[in-house]
Amino acid sequence: MKLDERVWKIFQRHLRYSDEELKTFRENPRNEDVLSKAPALMNKTIILEVVDAHGCNSQHKVGDKFYFDGAGNLITKLSPQKICVYALSSMAPLVFASNELFYAGVDPNQMRFKRTGCFDVGVQCGGWGRIVLELKMEDRKQGID
């Protein structure tokens, strides 16, 4: 899809690109493809839900949900007040994969391996605790930013 020149200028202002940086950005055809699909992705919410938990030092428990907008930004007002950095870092690859699938026209909810966990191996294996998270993508609800 060919983007309107106004979209390029908006994007340039958003990322504070110089004219030269925008030129370089535009030379990569994948960037136009991604930008053309971005509005639809911004109407989605990516949710990672704790589906298993034991011994988590941050007290994450089954049912806790971490909400991200389509761009991969954590929506802090909807997520737990305290978030373990190790759990958060394990979420990044799945959020990235969901975006890639979306851009490719594949429903991210059809992802085969949509679970991840913090890298703590749990007390049985010499660690402290462990949580497992599962990803899903939903239509964005009004009022969620």
Looking at the fold, whether 26 and 52 belong to one and the same domain comes out as no
For residues 70 and 60, is the Cβ–Cβ distance under 8 A?
no
Kindly indicate the confidence band of residue 1, based on its pLDDT and cuts at 50, 70 and 90.
low
- The number of domains in the chain is 2
Same-domain status, 30 and 52: no
Query: What residue has token string 């950005």?
Result: 25
Instruction: Determine contact, residues 97/13, Cβ cutoff 8 Å.
Output: no
pLDDT digit string (tens) for 87-107? 999 999 999 999 999 999 999
Q: State residue 144's pLDDT score.
A: 62
Q: Are residues 62 and 132 both part of a single domain? A: yes
Give the pLDDT band of residue 23 (cuts 50, 70, 90). very high
Q: Do 33 and 50 fall into the same domain?
A: no
Instruction: State which amino acid sits at residue 39.
Output: P
pLDDT by residue (tens digit) across 32-46? 999 999 899 999 999
3-state DSSP assignment of residue 137: strand
Percent of the chain with pLDDT over 90: 84
Cα dihedral 58, 92, 116, 137 sign: positive
**Could you tell me if residue 9 is inside a domain?**
yes
d(CA 138, CA 105): 15
Are residues 65 and 34 located together in one domain of the fold? no
Give the residue-averaged pLDDT of 20-24: 96
Q: What is the pLDDT of residue 143?
A: 61
58 in the same domain as 13: no
Side chain identity at 102, as an amino acid letter?
A: F
Q: Are residues 14 and 50 in the same domain?
A: no
Residues 77 and 132 in one domain: yes
Q: Are 108 and 102 in contact, with CB atoms under 8 Å apart?
A: yes
Domain of 69, in residue numbers: 45-139
What is the 3-class SS of 31-65, one letter each residue?
A: HHHHHHHHHHHCCEEEEEEEEEEECCCCCCCCCCE
Would 65 be classed as within a structural domain?
yes
pLDDT score at 3: 87
For the cut 80, the answer to whether the pLDDT of residue 79 exceeds it is yes
**Dist. CA 51–CA 65, nearest whole Å:** 10
| 61/124 same-domain check | yes
Mean pLDDT estimate for the chain? 93
Do 33 and 98 reside in the same domain of the chain? no
| pLDDT tens digits, one per residue of 40-78 | 999 999 999 999 999 999 999 999 999 999 999 999 999
144 assigned to some structural domain: no
Structure pTM?
0.89
Q: What is the pLDDT of residue 142?
A: 67
